[in-house]
Every structure is written in structure tokens, then in C-alpha cells.
Amino acid sequence: MTFDDKLNKIRLIAGKMMSCSAHDCDHVDRVYNLCLMLAKGQKVDLQVLEIAALLHDIGREAEHNDKTGKIDHAKVGAQMAEKILKDLGVDDEKIECVKECILSHRFRGKILPKSLEAKILFDADKLDTLGAIGIARSYVWVGKNNAKIYTDRDLNSYVNENIEGGVFGRIKDKTKHSPQIEFDLKFGKIKEKLFTKKAKKIATQRTKFYSDFLKRLEKEIKGKL
Amino acid sequence: MTFDDKLNKIRLIAGKMMSCSAHDCDHVDRVYNLCLMLAKGQKVDLQVLEIAALLHDIGREAEHNDKTGKIDHAKVGAQMAEKILKDLGVDDEKIECVKECILSHRFRGKILPKSLEAKILFDADKLDTLGAIGIARSYVWVGKNNAKIYTDRDLNSYVNENIEGGVFGRIKDKTKHSPQIEFDLKFGKIKEKLFTKKAKKIATQRTKFYSDFLKRLEKEIKGKL
């Protein structure tokens, strides 16, 4: 079996394993494309990167269905990936590299990416939360969770009341959350957390686009536009 | 009971009667504010306009829960409004004016607004589908209906395959629909359907903002930004 054959099999397996609302699969496609774009001209193991991009979120469903709040999709995903790749006869060394990428791709995770492949996957995944695509995904989240399109309240009091365990903690009541709160807490700071120069540049303009959108939204809602 | 007392009662009744996901109530608030803004300097019956704005979507839940596809929220809403307003002792003449506003506020409806109050309500309601707020509401719809963030396909073939009974007909499979299809079919043309000069002006820049957003989204997804 050639590498391309294996990659196609992985793509199919990933598609089936993800809870697969259309967005999740589309997110994986976008992250995969962003990874290739960020990797251009860099010395990376493209095979590792491509596999990791396709499999990076396969642990999502387990995390989503977990009532204890203890399952981390990055950890579970890395274990799931190991099994899939062993069954396909992928080299142990490559499997370890893929696992490192998946384990360290979480924004809120404690394991930081070390290899360039892991850094690129981390960055690509975060870029998909910014810009027009980030805005679209945020409001999809609002729709799914019956959250708020807009909230006009003090961030500190909101965090005290509705976030458990500090700024990146658990949201107690999603119906009180909004993209603008999420932007202030997380999205607006993502660009500082990225690793690669190219991703930082893209993130800077995507962050500005998101921020400008929120400012306009507020003006419209307040009857100024 | 003063008019303000009655209006407060109507506001409470409307809030309770709407399926009341937070967005529906927020939409009513925004439409109410837009109505006041569009009415400024115009000779209108503000009492009629305010009541109609608060009650214009109370038929939504009945339409939403109807399996036959025959219930029209504007028609049902006008009947519901009549009962509420009679119980509150509102003048028959005003009730008739409010009913006309509610009956004719639907974009796809066959009854066109005649009075200035009805025209303003129609315009205010449509403005809330454009601009940043329109974008946000569109992706909330995507989230609720598991539709697509982005689709890259020929509009005519899409309409033939997925819309029953012409361009403004019933969407057969919502998971294949996207805001960009909705924009091409409907939102992009709304500004031409509006009645008041002020609303047309606001709609023009809100339409451009929506269209620019979709162009940017496409570029991001295609890896150009």
C-alpha cells in the first residue's frame, strides 16, 4: 500500500469517526489545507503532518459525550490514532511523531508542541478560529448551544459568575456566553500563542477582521449603523 | 391603564409566547428599536408601530411546530395579536392597524404593506437579516439546522435540486443549505424590496458588508487569506 493509499484510508476513517456534522469534517479539510500552506518551504515530514491534520480531532466525540468533563480529546485522539496507524502498518517512529502533534494541538492543553510538525498543526487549527471562518464557526456554536449573539456586560463579572476555574475554565451556562466574550477571553489573544511566523502574520489580520466585525455588530445593535 | 402600562404587558406576553430562544426575543428588541429609528421625523401612529413591532413574530412558534407547512406565522400572529389587544382594551381601530402591519411583514408573503407603519415594520424586520447582525443570525441558523458554513456550487443546479416550488420555495434538505446560497437567493435582493428611503440607505451598506464578508470567507477557505 502506497502512502497515498494509506492517507486515503485515514481520511475515510477520520470522516466516519468524527461525530460528523458537516462542519467537523470541513474543519479538518481546512486545517489540512492550512497545514500544507504553512509547511511550504519548511523542512517538515509532510507524511506526519498530513496524517496528524486528518486525525487531530478524532477524539472530539468522546470528549463531547463524556459527562465527567475529564476526557481530553487530544489525549484520547492520540491513543485512537496510534491504533489506526498500527493497523495500517505505519512505522512506529512516524506514529510517535503523529501522536506528539495530536497531543499538543489543544489551545487549553498543558503539553506544548515541540516538533515543527506539531507547531504547524497547532497554528493551523487556531487560524481556523479567526477571520471570517472563525466568526462563522462562532455563531454556529451559538446556534447549537442556544447562546447569545451579543452580550453587553462587564467581562470580569461575567467570568466570576459563569466560568469555573479561571479564564480558560468550564462555561457553567452556555446560553449566557457569546462570541464577543469568547473573543475577549481567547480568540483575541490567540495570535500571541502561535509558533510559526507565517501563521502569526495571517492570525494578525484575521484577528483584526474578527474584532472589526464585533465592533460593527455592536454599532448595529445599538442603532448606530 | 396608560399606554405605557399596556405596552409593558404586551412586551411580557410577547416574550412568553415566543419559542423564546434568546435570539427571538433579541430580534424583537432590535426590530422595535429599528422601527423607532425609521419612524423618527415621520408622521406615524407610534402606538400602532410599537405594538406591531413587539408582536410581529408571535406566530413563529406555531409555524415552526406545524408539520403541514401550511401555517403562515404572519396570519396566525395577526389573529393572536387581535385577541391579546382586545383583552387589554385597545381600540378596535388601532387593532386593525396592528393586524395590517403583522399580516404584511413577511418577505415571502403575498400581502404587501400599505400603511407607513406596516412599511416601517417590514423594512425594520428585513434590516435585521443584513449587516453583521444578519451574518451572525445566518450562522446561528446553520448551527441549529446542521447546515453548511460554506458551499461552492452552481446556484441554478442547487435550486433545481433542493428548493421546492421556485426560488422562494421550501428548502428540501437544510443540511445542504448555506448563508451564501441564502444571500444569492434572498438577502442580496432585499434592499430593492424595501419601502422607506432611510431603510434602503441602511440596507445598501449592510448588504455590501454581508457580501464582502462572504467574499472574504471564500478566500480564506480557498487558502488565499
- Indicate yes or no: CB of B148 within 8 angstroms of CB of A26: yes
Q: What is the DSSP letter of B171?
A: E
Neighbours of A130 (CB within 10 A): 26
Interface probe, candidates B23, B217, B220, B224, chain A, greatest A C-beta count within 10 A: B220
For A34, name the nearest residue in chain B, comparing CA atoms only: B223
- Indicate yes or no: CB of A142 within 8 angstroms of CB of B140: yes
Interface probe, candidates B210, B212, B221, B224, chain A, greatest A C-beta count within 10 A: B221
pLDDT tens digits, one per residue of A115-160: 999 999 999 999 999 999 999 999 999 999 999 999 987 888 888 8
- Indicate yes or no: CB of A149 within 8 angstroms of CB of B137: yes
pLDDT on residue B155: 86
pLDDT on residue A51: 98
Average pLDDT, chain A: 92
Interface probe, candidates A36, A137, A140, chain B, greatest B C-beta count within 10 A: A140
Could you tell me which of B143, B200, B205, B219 has the C-alpha nearest to residue B177? B143
Q: How confident is the model at residue A50 (pLDDT cuts 50, 70, 90)?
A: very high
Amino acid letter at B116?
Answer: L
pLDDT on residue B25: 86
pLDDT tens digits, one per residue of B119-132: 999 999 999 999 99
Percent of chain B with pLDDT over 70: 97
A178 grid coordinates: 457569546
Range(s) of chain B covered by CATH 1.20.58.1910: 129-225
Could you tell me which of A210, A48, A19, A6 has the C-alpha nearest to residue A128? A210
Q: Which residues of A touch B (CB under 8 A)?
A: 21-23, 26, 30, 33-34, 37, 131-133, 135-150, 175, 179, 202, 205-206, 209, 213, 216-217, 220-221, 223, 225
Dihedrals phi, psi of A194, to nearest 5 degrees: -75, 165
CA angle in degrees (0–180, nearest 5) for A94-A99-A103: 155
Q: Nearest-CA distance from A206 to chain B in Å?
A: 8
Dihedrals phi, psi of B56, to nearest 5 degrees: -60, -25
* B165/B112: higher pLDDT: B112
pLDDT tens digits, one per residue of A148-176: 999 987 888 888 888 887 777 788 899 99
Which strand (E) or helix (H) includes residue B9? helix B3-17
Q: Nearest-CA distance from A145 to chain B in Å?
A: 8
Q: For residues A74 and A100, what is the distance between their CA atoms, to the nearest angstrom?
A: 10
Q: Nearest-CA distance from A39 to chain B in Å?
A: 13
A135 grid coordinates: 466568526
Of residues A23, A217, A221, nearest to B149 (C-beta): A23
- Indicate yes or no: CB of B131 within 8 angstroms of CB of A216: yes
Q: For residues B130 and A221, what is the distance between their CA atoms, to the nearest angstrom?
A: 12
What average pLDDT score do residues B102-107 get?
Answer: 91
Of residues B26, B143, B202, nearest to A141 (C-beta): B143
pLDDT on residue A24: 80
Range(s) of chain B covered by CATH 1.10.3210.10: 1-109
pLDDT tens digits, one per residue of B160-213: 888 887 777 788 899 999 999 999 999 999 999 999 999 999 999 999 999 999
pLDDT on residue A1: 87
Residue listed under C-alpha cell 446560497: B181
Least confidently predicted of A189-198, A202-211, B16-25, B137-146: B16-25
Of residues A23, A34, A133, nearest to B217 (C-beta): A133
* Topology (CATH level 3) of domain B129-225: Methane Monooxygenase Hydroxylase; Chain G, domain 1 (1.20.58)
Does residue A20 surpass a pLDDT of 70? no
Q: What ipTM was assigned to the predicted interfaces of this complex?
A: 0.92
- Indicate yes or no: CB of A140 within 8 angstroms of CB of B149: yes
pLDDT on residue A47: 97
Contacts of A144 in chain B (CB under 8 A): 143-144
Q: For residues B63 and B70, what is the distance between their CA atoms, to the nearest angstrom?
A: 8
Does residue A109 surpass a pLDDT of 80? no
Architecture of domain A1-109: Orthogonal Bundle (1.10)
pLDDT on residue B224: 82
CA angle in degrees (0–180, nearest 5) for B3-B4-B5: 90
Beta partners for residue A171, in sequence order: A163
What is the number of CB-based contacts under 8 A between chain A and chain B?
112
Does residue A18 surpass a pLDDT of 90? no
